[in-house]
Structures are given as C-alpha cells and as structure tokens.
C-alpha cells in the first residue's frame, strides 16, 4: 500500500453521459477527501468522508454529483449528465488526520 | 472564511539561484500549513508540513517557514535545478472537515 490510487487517469466523455471515478486511499487513513482543480487554479474542496460517513459537502457539489465510500474503504465519485463545465482534474486525498496524501488524479474532458 | 494567496503567480530563474515563494493566509488560527509540488497534468506531491507550533521545517534543499501572527509562510529553494520546475502550492486545513484551502500556486521555471 504505497499511496492513494485513482482510476481512471483520463476520461473523455460526451456531454450528457454519466461518469464514475474511483479512489483507493491509504488503508490506515480514515479521512478521505475529493477535490476539483481547473487549469491555473488550486484544488477546491468537494466532499469529505470519515470512514463510511459523508460528513461535509461543498456548495460546488451540485445534485448531479454523488460520492460514496462503502465500508469506509475505497470511494467513488459519480457525475450524472456531464456538462462541459465539469471538465477538470478530480483529485482524491486521504489524511491521518491533517497530513494529506493525494492521488494522481483523474482528468475529465467533456466534449 | 480562510483565503490563501500566493505571490508571484509565475517565476522564471536561471539554474543555481536561490529563490523564495510566498504564501499568505487570512485566518491565523491554523493547525498547520502544507507545501505541495504539482507537475503538469499530475497530482500533488507533499513537500513539507509545518505544524502551527513550529517556525520552520527543512527537507534537503527546501526550507519552509511559518509566521502565524502575520499570516505568512515562505518556501525557500536553494541552488535551484531545472528539475525543480513545477507549480508549488501551499494549503491550510480549515472548516469542520479540516479540508485544505489552497492558494492558486506559483509556477516555477528553472532555466538550464
């Protein structure tokens, strides 16, 4: 278990399609976060899990977005009815408790 | 609401120079501050974590300082190399989830 793993690395999808990303955190880390990063900006917080409980959601997380972390292990982030504005890098991080380790991200392009 | 600012937005230096990247934050009640490196199209790599009780932290050619009272941190890179070219981001945890609030980063180019 060498770090945070994210899949896929890249995703190209047509507008209106649904996409799902996966994050496998460091196993000892009970905190898991999703962030979104657009070009030239720092990452912005989307949502937070402690174990399997989703405890915090950003206003950026519209109702087209949903995240899960079943059994407090891996997490998935789903975007329904994708829009061109959803094109971004989606980053997952886990922490113990405030030292963060980030994954390599999933680059989403909506065409 | 915590806000983080990084200056300059971009920096280009010749190889071998020592340089300083700046980070400021508006709410001084922080747990810690973390510096990250991001290569183009890649995720974030943690460089240094400074706890709120610390003044500085060193790793190799990198030295980060923290002045909570003034809401500032600096990342000092000694003897810069072309391999140091990347975007450097600072971030502080805030909110009930201790989610990170990031600056927009400083894009560093070290010219051979």
Q: Along the 112 residues of chain B, how does pLDDT read in single tens digits?
A: 899 999 999 999 999 999 999 999 999 899 899 999 999 988 999 999 999 999 999 999 999 999 999 999 999 999 999 999 999 999 999 888 889 999 999 999 999 9
CB contact under 8 Å between B32 and A98, yes or no, is: yes
Q: Distance between CA atoms of A40 and B106, rounded to whole angstroms?
A: 10
Residue B96 and residue A98: Cβ atoms within 8 Å? Answer: no
Of all residues in chain A, the one with the smallest CA distance to B31 is: A98
Mean pLDDT of chain A: 93
pLDDT at B9: 95
When mean pLDDT is compared across A52-61, A79-88, B97-106, the lowest value belongs to A52-61
Instruction: Say what the pLDDT of residue B41 is.
Output: 87
Chain B, window 16-35: residues with a beta carbon less than 8 angstroms from a chain A beta carbon:
31-32, 34
Chain A positions touching B36 (Cβ under 8 A) are 102
Chain B residues whose beta carbon lies within 8 Å of the beta carbon of residue A41 = 104-105
Q: Do B101 and A35 touch (CB under 8 A)?
A: no
Indicate the range of A72-81, A96-105, B21-30, B101-110 predicted with least confidence.
A96-105
Model confidence at A71, pLDDT cuts 50, 70, 90, reads confident
Q: Is pLDDT at A1 greater than 80 in this prediction? A: no
How far does the CA of residue B76 sit from the closest CA of chain A (Å)? 20
Cβ atoms of residues A12 and A67 within 8 Å: no
- Residues of chain B neighbouring A45 (CB-CB closer than 8 A): 95, 97, 99-101
On whether the CB atoms of residues B93 and B43 are closer than 8 A, the answer is no
Q: Does A94 touch chain B (CB under 8 A)?
A: no
Q: What is the pLDDT of residue A61?
A: 86
Q: Is B99 part of the contact surface with chain A (CB cutoff 8 Å)?
A: yes
pLDDT on residue B94: 86
With a pLDDT cut of 70, the percent of chain B lying above it is 100
- Local confidence band at A80 (pLDDT 50, 70, 90 cut-offs): very high
Beta strands in chain A (DSSP E): 5-7, 10-13, 19-24, 31-37, 44-50, 53-57, 65-68, 75-79, 88-95, 100-102, 106-110
Three-state SS at A33:
strand
Distance CA B29, CA B49 (A): 16
User: Tell me: the pLDDT tens digits for B19-50?
Assistant: 999 999 999 899 899 999 999 988 999 999 99
Interchain proximity B41–A91, CB inside 8 Å: no
């Amino acid at each position: 278990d060498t770090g945070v793993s994210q899949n896929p690395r890249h995703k190209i999808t047509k507008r209106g399609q649904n996409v799902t990303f996966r994050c496998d955190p460091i196993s000892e880390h009970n905190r898991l976060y999703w962030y979104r990063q657009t070009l030239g900006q720092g990452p912005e917080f989307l949502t937070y899990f402690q174990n399997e409980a989703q405890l915090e959601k950003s206003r950026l997380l519209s109702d087209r977005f949903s995240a899960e972390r079943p059994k407090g292990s891996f997490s998935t982030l789903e975007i329904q009815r994708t829009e061109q504005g959803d094109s971004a890098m989606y980053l997952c991080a886990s922490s113990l408790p405030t030292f963060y380790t980030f994954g390599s991200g999933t680059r989403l392009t909506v065409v | 609401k915590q806000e983080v600012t990084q200056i300059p937005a971009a920096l280009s230096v010749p190889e071998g120079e020592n340089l300083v990247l700046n980070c400021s934050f508006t709410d001084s009640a922080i747990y810690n501050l973390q510096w990250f490196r991001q290569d183009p199209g890649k995720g974030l790599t943690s460089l240094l974590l400074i706890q709120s009780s610390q003044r500085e932290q060193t790793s190799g050619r990198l030295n980060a300082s923290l002045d909570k009272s003034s809401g500032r941190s600096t990342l000092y890179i000694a003897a810069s190399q072309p391999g140091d070219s990347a975007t450097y981001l600072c971030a502080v945890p805030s909110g009930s989830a201790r989610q990170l609030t990031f600056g927009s980063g400083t894009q560093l180019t070290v010219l051979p």
